[in-house]
Chains A and B, each alone.
Chain A
Amino acid sequence: MKYVDEFRDQQQARAIAAAIAREARPERHYRLMEFCGGHTHAIFRYGVQDLMPANVEFVHGPGCPVCVLPIGRIDEAMQLVEKHGVILCTYGDMMRVPAGNRRSLMQARADGADIRMVYSTQDALKIARDNPNQQVVFFAIGFETTTPPTAVAIKQAQAEGLQNFSVFCNHVLTPAALGALLNAEQPVAVDAFLGPSHVSTVIGSRPYEQFAEHYGKPIVIAGFEPLDVMQSALMAIRMLNEGRCEVENEYSRAVSRDGNTKAQALVNEVFELRDSFEWRGLGLIPDSALKIRQEFVGFDAEKRFPVHAQPVTDIKGCECPAILRGQKKPLECKLFGTVCTPENPMGSCMVSSEGACAAYWSYGRFRNVPGDDQA
């Protein structure tokens, strides 16, 4: 696969690993946060940490839209189906997340709810066209990568005069989350950030500049392949060694400083900021999420179908919040591997394919198997 295979090359990996080992100063401990859950997944799937020296550590960030969605919102989505009888269209990622009463969309579907998994908002539009006598709601989640496709769908629905299509909007914003991490009372203890690949193709590298400057943390926009992640780690280490706090773009083949201005304009046309939005693990963050503008109110599922879910608290002992903030590792959660496994997840970090706990369990469990004597 072009632009994929050459970025997974083992020889190059060893070469970059050697450079990192050379340049990471032995007296320093480098903590690099990969913000994006997709990066967490890639690091574990390819075993990238095996190629890093002991004093370079990856800290997993909150960039997993499934993980940070408060489960009350999933309950509200379920109410749309169970109380209002809509056809709910959702990305596959959401199907197994345990919500209130630990019930997931998948279980609701088994109970007879009309919940359909889609790959694209275009599929949801098609379902609406094919079922003119039923209301169809698209469960929109995701950071800035996934928001433009929702905007396109809403505009298309408007142009076609679709009466039975609406969107339950849970789109969230990366810079706000980054700010919350850095602004927190106990700010996350990392030295540098590896910024998300595909969010950045949309928003560009410019939005990160204020954080690098204001908080004194180097940020490297990292591509999605394992060689990208390693090269980005090297670039971060170099900036830290040189005392530079800038934004560097390793993913230059897809990311520019301005980003995708057409996509940004579409998003601005359809959405506006919510005053605040509750994030799992990060609490209430102002100006961190989007809602549908008044001009498109006809496509806002929250206005069309009033739903209200009871606030759901996390299960006692579940450390998802601390893990999402990079303050704890999955192994430090007492429920990890005992009560909480991918078959029986207690929190979304374990069920989302890019939650830190799921990645750790599925790919990295052998590193510290509970009950083993440490070598």
Chain B
Amino acid sequence: MEPGLLQSSDWPLLIDLYFFLGGVAGGAFVIATIANLLDGRRHQDIVRIGYYVAFLAVLPCPLLLIVDLGYPSRFLHMLMVSKPSTAIGMDAVTVGPFHLKLFSPMSAGAWALLVFGLCTFLCALDVFLTDRGGRSVTGLRTVAGVIGGVFGFFIAAYPGVLLGATARPLFISAHWLGAVFLAVGAATGGAAIALILALLRGAGGREGLVRVMRVTSMALVVELIALALFVVSVKMAGSARISAALGQLLAGPYSVPFWLGAVIVGVVVPIVLQRGAARSGAPVMAVLASVLVLVGGFLVKYVLIAAGQAS
């Protein structure tokens, strides 16, 4: 389809930052949960760091979203209004003052952030109490971990689906943004854990570091594949304006941050560095690779949103 007259939401950098932090939190939480479920004692460093990172990363997220609203004091309207109308969309669910719109990723995302935030708090609290010599509450970490893990993936991916459900030329025909954002979230979450592990434990944390870097590398490969499929799906739209929007990303003003920043610095170089770090066990290489993944993860989201809003 050829788009007509369009307007942009003009979301500022705050929203890019939220998408980035949400991805880091979601990715770190999922990795910590999987490590905890498989062998929590053996991978305790990863579990501890993962849950702390998730909690700290998700903490500013609601604030970033509220500050960006045109009417910040109405932030609760994302979840509830005193008298919700019944004619607010397909598959809208209203229970008392609460409402959920399954086809509005922003509505579903607001609820997911609430549940995920609660799970990160419970897991981080459990880790904190255990660190202080207390006993882990039986089953709490497992239950909150599994529920939070599902919502963690959701928090990482939904911004991509949200962008895909707009009429912006770069996004309207793209079907892979959710997958891209999910992979970026997993990679940056893993990178955040690896970075802290390498800084805290140095060579002593090699085993855990290698495992986390392996997850990160796999997520980076998935990201690269999803990005390629995103480009292909946009190219197949067969519209001059959509092709022009893609041209802005691949060969226009956004091409340098996209190719150099997001793809080479954010994906290709870290994969090579992580392989080197796994072989040599040098924490410095792991630190460098992790920093690059984090920088690249932010850049890929930033550049996709910027190019989409300008398209």
Chain B associates with chain A: no
Report B's interface with A, CB cutoff 8 A.
none
